Amino acid sequence: MDLEELKNKKPKRPVMFYYLIAFGILMVLNFVLVPWMTEGRIKETTYSDFVKQVDQGNVEQVEVQNQTYTIYYVVKVNGKEQICKTGIMDDPELLARLEQKNVKYGAEIPKQQSPFLALLLTWVIPIVIFIVIGNILSKKMAKSMGGGPGAMMFGKSNAKVYVKSATGIKFSDVAGEDEAKELLTEIVDYLHHPEMYRDIGAQMPKGALLVGPPGTGKTLLAKAVAGEANVPFFSISGSEFVEMFVGMGAAKVRDLFQQANEKAPCIVFIDEIDTIGKKRDGNMGGNDEREQTLNQLLTEMDGFDGSKGVVILAATNRPDSLDPALLRPGRFDRRIPVELPDLQGREEILKVHAKKIKIADNVDFNAIAKAASGASGAELANIVNEAALRAVRDGRRFANQADMEESIEVVIAGYQKKNRVLSEKEKLIVAYHEIGHALVAAKQSHSAPVHKITIIPRTSGALGYTMQVDEEEHFLMSKEELENKIATFTGGRAAEELIFHSITTGASNDIEQATKLARGMITRFGMSDEFDMVAMETVSNQYLGGDASLACSFETQTQIDRKVVELVRKQHEKAAQILKENIMKLHELAKYLYENETITGDEFMKILGE
Ligand code: ADP
Ligand code: MG
Ligand code: ZN
């Protein structure tokens, strides 16, 4: 193991456990085995047999057990003794018979339980058993609640303490994200040379909040800080504070900060802080436990002395749901955005992960990075791994360019479906549909719109797949560009209408995206003549897909809907017009795609240019 977890010693089984097992074995012996063994030696006979044996003078001794209605007797034949038993019968002559043959006889004295034993059985043993079981259960509970064995230990934080070099992750393992690295480097530097900062009177931020979409390397960055800093690093996930009982989370926060203060200078990292840092709302009967935990966190962050060198890092992908009190200066006063990587960042991330696998020297990472536009760091890591897996599947010892290209599609669109065969007609429709998109895009932008199109069904459910290129990153989109995008979305359906004069369900995703974009233009970007610069919608959760909520009157909503339809219809018509003008190229390209199942951007542009 490469990380040292201080609180991970396995508790020993209680001694009581072994006693219980021994006790159980004894019981089994006593009540099952012993009677079974002795019973085996006693022969059961009929009453008439018994009388016969007595008459023949073979019986030596008789004992009557009235409690169990059994007669035990010992028969001696040729010097061999045999114990036999039989049932009691109402036989008044029995005694006379026995007397006559001079047999020793008698009856057992009914057993009397001693009062001491009775007390023991009815009171003492059950109570002892209860206490033992109770003890074991409570120990288990205490353990599962984060305490160790022994006394009940509620409210212990189970933060893992990493020590330097234990995680092995350095800043060099995190590609791209230069701004984030720079800010974090400063914090690490402060912890190493606090005098320099104190001399000049500068105060380090008490906390820094890493925000960004999932899979962009927030947790990774925090681990890298742990690897670079020479100080203890406490790592805990927000969900670990969430407990069943009110007050437990708060106690854990208290414990965490107490530990941190003892170990200062050190770094505390709270991952997914939105689980405990959600906005407190005025609702009655809100989540008391969560609020108490948050309050405790706020208090603790105020309470400690920043100059002692405790730095709090936290990560979240829902910064807008955090309580404003948490974000004010003095608590998390530094906000470090960790965004989706740009082209260069993607290339670097691919290279970092490619170091871990065997890969051909001539792989063009730039091309892969271009094709994987919009992918997060986690997806890129996955792409590299899929490429290695594919190489193994094909029995090769190195991954190559083709592996990488195929794995982009795998990661984004799922595996190829081997057994799903499209009918010829369906395949033709899909080919025209995909070419429709690409052709509309190409005619509007006059450049290669796609990296590659395939019409092999994928496990994600997509029947065809288009890998878009976006050569240069952009941050601003003009109204025309957005309109062109909508036209491109409608291009697939427009091609179906033009060629087959019928429409299919294949456009559902296009419709969704076109609508979303058109709505955004009207309600958020102020791109309609009617509403000017008035926001009709607000977006929350920008890093997690972005849910929009309407903020306008009913009449306006109706108007917005009308505008959206108008906008999309206009672009749909434009797309249809473009395709009609280029119908020969549409046929040619669709035929090529239909026959080859794949067309690259270069092939596409070549056919288009001819
Ligand atoms: P999150 O931002 O959701 O916390 P993680 O930090 O857990 O994401 O990243 C998941 C994985 O993605 C990492 O383990 C790493 O393999 C990969 N990854 C993400 N960003 C980067 C990056 N900038 N450089 C290298 N690998 C990265
Ligand atoms: Mg994370
Ligand atoms: Zn489509």
Q: Is 531 exposed, middle or buried (0-12, 13-18, 19+ CB in 10 A)?
A: middle
Question: Among 170, 220, 349, which residue has the most ligand 1 atoms within 8 Å of its CB, making it the best to mutate?
Answer: 220
**Number of structural domains the chain divides into:** 4
Nearest CA to ligand 1 atom 12: 378
pLDDT of 587 reads 95
Structure-token pair, residue 532: 């000017």
Kindly write down the DSSP assignment for every residue of 403-445, as one continuous string: HHHHHHHHHHH-PBPSS----HHHHHHHHHHHHHHHHHHHHHH
Residue 599 domain-assigned?
yes
CATH number for position 86: 3.30.720.210
Which ligand is in closest contact with the Cα of 511? 3
Where are the strands (E) in 495-592, listed by range? Answer: 537-540, 547-550
- 552 and 490 share one domain: yes
Q: How far is the CA of 541 from the centre of ligand 3 (A)?
A: 27
Torsion-angle region of residue 417: left (phi > 0), alpha (psi -120 to 50) or beta? beta
Which ligand is in closest contact with the Cα of 383? 1
Residue 20 domain-assigned?
no
Of the candidates 280, 311, 337, which is a domain's last residue? Answer: 337
- 462 and 539 share one domain: yes
Comparing CA positions, the residue from 322, 305, 383 lying closest to residue 351 is: 383
- 496 and 383 share one domain: no
Q: Is 383 exposed, middle or buried (0-12, 13-18, 19+ CB in 10 A)?
A: buried
Which amino acid is it at 352?
V
Residue numbers of the domain that contains 218: 161-337
CATH number for position 502: 1.20.58.760
Comparing CA positions, the residue from 468, 467, 215, 451 lying closest to residue 341 is: 215
Q: Which atom of ligand 1 is nearest to the CA of 214?
A: 3
Which ligand is in closest contact with the Cα of 462? 3
pLDDT of 593 reads 92
Specify whether the CB–CB gap between 408 and 371 falls below 8 A: yes
Which amino acid is it at 72?
Y
Q: Which atom of ligand 1 is nearest to the CA of 271?
A: 4
CA 353 → CA 222, 405, 590, distances in Å?
A: 18, 15, 37
Of the candidates 312, 337, 362, which is a domain's last residue? Answer: 337
Specify whether the CB–CB gap between 529 and 566 falls below 8 A: no
Hey, is 316 helix, strand or coil? strand
- 310 and 362 share one domain: no
Residue 204 domain-assigned?
yes
Question: Among 173, 216, 343, which residue has the most ligand 1 atoms within 8 Å of its CB, making it the best to mutate?
Answer: 216
Specify whether the CB–CB gap between 57 and 98 falls below 8 A: no
Q: Is 418 exposed, middle or buried (0-12, 13-18, 19+ CB in 10 A)?
A: exposed
Mean pLDDT by 10 residues, the chain (610 residues): 40 65 78 67 84 84 81 82 84 82 77 75 85 84 51 54 62 86 87 84 83 90 84 84 74 85 85 83 65 85 74 88 84 85 89 90 87 85 92 91 86 64 83 92 80 76 69 75 92 94 88 91 87 82 72 88 94 95 94 89 88
Residue 122 domain-assigned?
no
How many C-beta atoms surround the C-beta of residue 345 within 10 A? 21
Task: Return d(Cα 80, Cα 446) in angstroms, integer.
Answer: 115
Residue 594 domain-assigned?
yes
Q: Between β-strands 59-65 and 70-77, what pairing exists: parallel, antiparallel or unpaired?
A: antiparallel
Structure-token pair, residue 583: 């119908």
Hey, is 99 helix, strand or coil? helix
- 447 and 371 share one domain: no
Nearest CA to ligand 1 atom 6: 217
CATH number for position 366: 1.10.8.60
- 296 and 237 share one domain: yes
- 541 and 402 share one domain: no
Hey, is 105 helix, strand or coil? strand
Residue 123 domain-assigned?
no
Residue 528 domain-assigned?
yes
Q: How far is the CA of 220 from the centre of ligand 1 (A)?
A: 5
Residue 197 domain-assigned?
yes
Task: Return d(Cα 437, Cα 491) in angstroms, integer.
Answer: 4
pLDDT of 571 reads 95
User: Do you find a cis peptide bond into 232, omega within 30 degrees of 0?
Assistant: no
Task: Return d(Cα 96, Cα 72) in angstroms, integer.
Answer: 18
Q: How far is the CA of 218 from the centre of ligand 1 (A)?
A: 7
pLDDT of 159 reads 63
User: Which strand (E) or helix (H) includes residue 117?
Assistant: helix 115-119
Q: Which residues are catalytic?
A: 434
Residue with tokens 């009581």: 16
Q: Looking at residue 306, what DSSP letter applies?
A: G
Q: Between β-strands 310-316 and 207-211, what pairing exists: parallel, antiparallel or unpaired?
A: parallel
Task: Return d(Cα 161, Cα 559) in angstroms, integer.
Answer: 57
- 214 and 303 share one domain: yes
* Ligand 1 pocket, Cβ-based, cut-off 6 angstroms: 174-177, 214-220, 315, 349, 352, 377-378, 381
Which residues hold their Cβ within 5 A of ligand 2, which is an ion?
Answer: 219
Which residues hold their Cβ within 5 A of ligand 3, which is an ion?
Answer: 492, 510
- 500 and 535 share one domain: yes
Q: Which atom of ligand 1 is nearest to the CA of 345?
A: 23
CB under 8 Å to 598, separation ≥6 — which residues? Answer: 452, 453, 454, 455, 456
pLDDT of 3 reads 38
Structure-token pair, residue 21: 């097992």
- 382 and 457 share one domain: no
Which ligand is in closest contact with the Cα of 172? 1
Q: How far is the CA of 46 from the centre of ligand 2 (A)?
A: 82
Q: Which atom of ligand 1 is nearest to the CA of 175?
A: 24
Q: Which residues on neighbouring strands pair with residue 72, listed in sequence order? A: 63, 85
- 399 and 492 share one domain: no
- 333 and 264 share one domain: yes
pLDDT of 110 reads 63
CATH number for position 294: 3.40.50.300
Of the candidates 293, 313, 337, which is a domain's last residue? Answer: 337
Q: Between β-strands 43-44 and 80-87, what pairing exists: parallel, antiparallel or unpaired?
A: parallel
